[in-house]
Amino acid sequence: MSLVRAVCALLLCLSPVAALAQLPVLKFNPKIPGYEGGSGDPSTWVAENTYPGAILYVYPFRVLSGDFAGQFRRTLLRDLVSKDVQEAGLAQPASIEPLQISGADAALAARFVEDYWGTPRHRLRIAVLARGAVAIVDYVSHDADSFQRNLYGVSEMVKTMSVGAQQAATPQTAPQLAALKSLAGLYLGSALQFVPSPVLGATPGAGSWMPGTRFYLLSPDGKVYRGYGLPKTPDADISRFDFEKARLEDPYNSGVFIVEGRRVILRFGGGVAPEEQTSGVPRAGGPLEINGTTYKLQPLK
């Protein structure tokens, strides 16, 4: 094989990875007025203290083929949102308007009413196009009043939106990597756990808080998983815990941890604004202190 052909073959093999690495990023202020959350995939915020509720989803940029505007007007790009919130049909035609988003090639906003099994569900979907990829902002409310009442926070968030480039992750220093390894292990503490009512026919959500054991499992390379009881592993061997499987099956309780100065920072759920918990850096073999609870490092057999 000639040198030119070899180089071309290498470029073809690398192109999907390179394209993924070069996807743009939708930037905005994740502190949205009247909402809480921001973790998950997609990143999810829930309107505070409202019923019926409203939820805001933000999907990162993904490659889009074909005519952006035409596809959005025909389908609202519904296939790019999670299946459980895809609209099955519209109660009336969508109202579509262009938006100006800094750094975007184009942006469209659609306000529409979904026919959700005979119940109208009011929605706003924003699609942002940049460099052949599209990001989606999907605002879902359960009625017209909820839509208007919680729209302010969404509007304020949209004002801060812009398109930028991905930033390279800052590599950890040798002392930070050593600190991760020194903290690895299983930490146990006492915490209240909500136990659903075992009574047949009990009201949904009924139950009581009972004392139980809560754990944090930290890996030598900076992964963390939390839960109640003990981690489930083959042959009860903690060293065989599958962090990647846990991330896929239980993303809310999966995350990463880092050491910054005298703090251990644990981030769960991923997304734009992951849930964050902190502890002081313990002495060798010492406990973590998280939200006022002591979690002791367990000797592993």
Taking only the tens place, the pLDDT of each residue in 26-50 is 999 999 999 999 998 899 999 997 7
| Residues 190, 174: Cα–Cα separation, whole Å | 34
Q: What confidence tens digit (pLDDT) does each residue in 182-204 have?
A: 999 999 999 888 777 776 666 66
| Residues 90, 229: Cα–Cα separation, whole Å | 45
**Mean of the pLDDT values across residues 229-236?**
88
pLDDT at residue number 301 = 58
Half-sphere exposure of 86 (CA within 13 A, CB side): 11
60, 64, 195, 267, 274 from 40: Cα distances, Å: 12, 22, 24, 11, 7
Q: What confidence tens digit (pLDDT) does each residue in 49-95 have?
A: 777 689 999 999 999 999 999 999 999 999 999 999 999 899 989 99
**Omega within 30 of 0 (cis) for the link into 30:** no
In 3-state terms the chain splits into helix, strand, coil percentages (rounded to 5) of 25, 40, 35
Prediction pTM value? 0.76
pLDDT at residue number 199 = 63
**Helix runs in 36-143, H state only:** 68-75
pLDDT at residue number 189 = 96
**Of the candidates 151, 210, 212, 216, the residue with the CA atom closest to the CA atom of residue 188:** 216
Q: Find all residues with CB under 8 Å of 274, minimum gap 6, and list them.
A: 38, 39, 255, 267, 268
* pLDDT band at 166; cut points 50, 70, 90: confident
**Of the candidates 30, 58, 32, 34, the residue with the CA atom closest to the CA atom of residue 44:** 58
pLDDT at residue number 132 = 96
pLDDT at residue number 28 = 96
- pLDDT tops 90 at residue 264: yes
Domains of the chain, earliest start first:
22-164 (3.40.1000.10), 174-297 (2.40.128)
**Mean of the pLDDT values across residues 247-276?**
92
pLDDT at residue number 25 = 94
| DSSP assigned state of 220 | T
* pLDDT band at 6; cut points 50, 70, 90: very low
**Of the candidates 241, 235, 236, the residue with the CA atom closest to the CA atom of residue 221:** 241
- pLDDT tops 50 at residue 8: no
**Residue 154 in contact with residue 32, Cβ under 8 Å?**
yes
Token pair 């703090």: residue: 263
